[in-house]
Structure 1
Amino acid sequence: MSTIVDKIRENELKFNEDDWKMANFVIQYPNLLENLTINNLSKILIASRSEVFRFTKKIGFSSYEAFKFALKKEQHLMKQSNKQINLQQQLKLANDEILSEFKHLDLTKLCEDIKKTQNIYIFQSSMGMHYAGNYLARQLMINGKKTILLPVSALKTICDSNYLEKSDIFIFLLNGKHDFKNRQLLQQSVRQRGIITIGIFDDSNKDLFKLMEYKIKYNCVEMRDMEHHNVSMIQIYWWIDLLMSQYKEYIKQKSK
């Protein structure tokens, strides 16, 4: 599809001096033009309304309003394209960051703990983490592990119960700053019952990392969809895929 600049180039042989003055303004200040009436543009360029109209007709538009509508549409598509490019760059950087960190992790001990545990409790902090928790639970169940998905608020109930067994695993999926009220209870469960803790947090929960035996940090890549709703592309899913891939490889090696 031809852009307005393309149309200017295609018809430049028809231009007089006044046309070139308008063409240069269109090329240099497209954002400003979006809000200018034909009268405003005429005053800025020291041209008549009829000269502005003739220019827009020379480049293929029936009226100044038709020209301005096409310009606004073109600018909107360009902004969307730039956002998409920026999002792709952010996702690539985030993905590269995970792969780089993953290469330096020795997950053998974690895979051993997952293999020998009877129960895995997944505690999530929000609805967004609930989806990630469901995804992780499915991956673990596919690999033969019993999983229980719970809100973080259920931690005290679980720790106070008689259901916990030695070497059960607690996985915490947290996003955003979280007021963790059961630190002492968790530490007691780790110490007395041999609970293994895995923390999958974003940057805002650094202080909770100290309570975790295994620590996985993720970042969020934010974007807006076409309806302007906020959407989070969260690295946590990539971490889950990499972790489960490593676990499958560990089981495969052990079965030889």
Structure 2
Amino acid sequence: MPTLIQQIKNRLNQLSEAEKRVGRYITRYPELVPNMTSKDLSNKTDVSEATVVRFCKSIGAANFKTFKLTLAKELPLSKEDLTDFSSLKKNDAPYDLFCKVTQLNKQAIESTSLSLERKQFEKAVRHLKEADKIIFFGVGGSAIAAMDGSYKFSRLGYHSMMIPDFHQAAATTPFLSPASVFVAISMSGKTKDVLQLAQLVKNKGAHVIAITNAAQSPLLKMADIQLCTPAVEQDFRIGSIASTMTQLNIVDALYLSVFHLSSDHLIEQYREAREAVIKFRR
């Protein structure tokens, strides 16, 4: 299937002159567009905002926002891939590699703002705030973000857990309610344990929040709430944590958002917990 940029190039001659200006700009500077508003793009190409919208529909996107999201998913995170086995063949000095890894992880986190939809994130925060139970689940590297989420939300007083064993996690699903939330974390969105648990949760009427890549993820289609992470690693990789960084970033933002909404009655409990930790510190 051709990329969005290739589709634009293929259809360029079929567009109006004004739409062609939009298309040429996007194919020349695709990395700038996801951070633009429709007004920004109209100013850059000297056309009306209505022309920008018509251009998006001509390419097959419902609106400019959908167009930007699709484009952002296709843009390469970095010109240099450090996450697959080819990186082991390069003669980088250790400190040089440290600098490259730091830059890659920074880019991964910054790219999340392009792949994540605001309405979906705010919906996730609302459901988590009102949840009676929260189950975080992930396998492999995604288990790190799941453990972090469980720990943080338990500090807010929620019945929050991360159960690493699939069968034990499945045994908890009969006790879920429509007010419960299952946070399914998977880079590929294809992990069978995660998909099967998500289906069990949906059968109970509980909400499924997916933190997963947007491209070709079965989990994304199954979820009630979709928190998309950018594609920053190949599926066959050496264990770099770029994708985990994006997952942790989303979990942290969810935690702080719920904390912010509940802070009036949590400050005193936090002070008590802090005093207890200091008292028993060894």
TM-score (norm 2): 0.49
Indicate conservation of the 8 Å contact 1:170/1:198, yes or no: yes
Cα distance in 1 for partners of 2:165, 2:218 equals 16
1:8-157 superposed matches below 5 A: 79-102=93-116, 104-105=118-119, 107-126=121-140, 128-151=141-164, 153-154=166-167, 155-157=169-171
Gaps of 5+ in 2: 1-90, 267-282
Hey, what's the Cα distance between the residues in 2 that align with 1:187 and 1:196?
A: 10
For 1:80, give the aligned amino acid: P
Kept in 2, the 8 Å contact 1:124–1:152? The answer is: no
Cα offset, 1:118, TM superposition: 1.0
Contact kept in structure 1, 2:138 and 2:186, CA below 8 Å: yes
Q: How far apart, CA to CA, are the structure 2 residues paired with 1:182 and 1:239?
A: 18
Alpha-carbon contact 1:111-1:250 (below 8 Å) kept: no
Equivalent residues of 1:156, 1:182 under 8 A apart: no
Contact 1:196 1:213 (8 Å CA) reproduced: yes
2:66 counterpart residue number = none
- The equivalent residue for 1:232 is 241
Percent sequence identity is 15
Which residue in 2 is equivalent to 1:251? 262
Counterpart of 2:228 in structure 1 is 217
Q: 1:177 to 1:156 in 2, by over 3 A?
A: same
3-state DSSP of counterpart to 2:209? strand
Q: TM-score, normalised by structure 1?
A: 0.54
1:184 and 1:230 map into 2 onto residues whose CA distance is 25
SS of equivalent residue, structure 2 residue 208? strand
Task: Please identify, of 143-152 and 96-105, the stretch whose mean Cα deviation from structure 2 is larger.
Answer: 96-105
Q: 1:207 aligns with which of 214, 218, 241?
A: 218
Which amino acid is 2:154 matched to?
A: M
Question: Partner residue of 1:172?
Answer: 184
Displacement of 1:174 in angstroms is: 2.0
Asked if structure 1 preserves the Cα contact closer than 8 Å seen for 2:190 and 2:218, the reply is no
Size of the aligned set, in residue pairs, is: 170
Q: Could you say what secondary structure the match of 1:158 adopts?
A: helix
8 Å Cα contact 2:116-2:228 kept in structure 1? no
Deviation at 1:232, TM superposition (A): 2.0
- Deviation above 4 Å: which 4+ runs of structure 1? 100-103, 181-189, 219-222, 252-255
Q: Contact between 1:120 and 1:168, CA under 8 Å: does it hold in 2?
A: yes
User: Which one is further off, 240-249 or 138-147?
Assistant: 240-249
1-structure distance, mates of 2:98, 2:198: 42
Q: AA paired with 1:208?
A: L
CA distance in 2, matches of 1:183, 1:148: 18
**Deviation of 1:113 (Å):** 1.4
> Displacement, 1:240?
1.3
Unaligned stretches of 5+ residues in structure 1: 1-75, 223-228
Q: Which has the larger radius of gyration?
A: 1
Instruction: Kindly state the Cα deviation for residue 107 of structure 1 after the two structures are TM-superposed.
Output: 3.3
The more displaced of 91-100 and 166-175 is: 91-100
Aligned to 1:19: none
Write out per-residue CA displacement over residues 181-236 of structure 1, whole angstroms, 9 at most, x where no aligned residue: 78688547525x320001112467612211101122335767xxxxxx95424221
Q: Deviations over 1:107-145 (max 9, x none)?
A: 33322211222111122222x333322211111011111
1:190 aligns with 2:202: yes
Q: Which has the higher strand share?
A: 1
Tell me how far 1:178 sits from its aligned partner. Answer: 3.4
Tell me how far 1:170 sits from its aligned partner: 0.8
Q: Indicate the SS of the match to 1:201.
A: strand
SS of 2:241's partner is strand
Q: 1:177 deviation in Å? A: 6.3
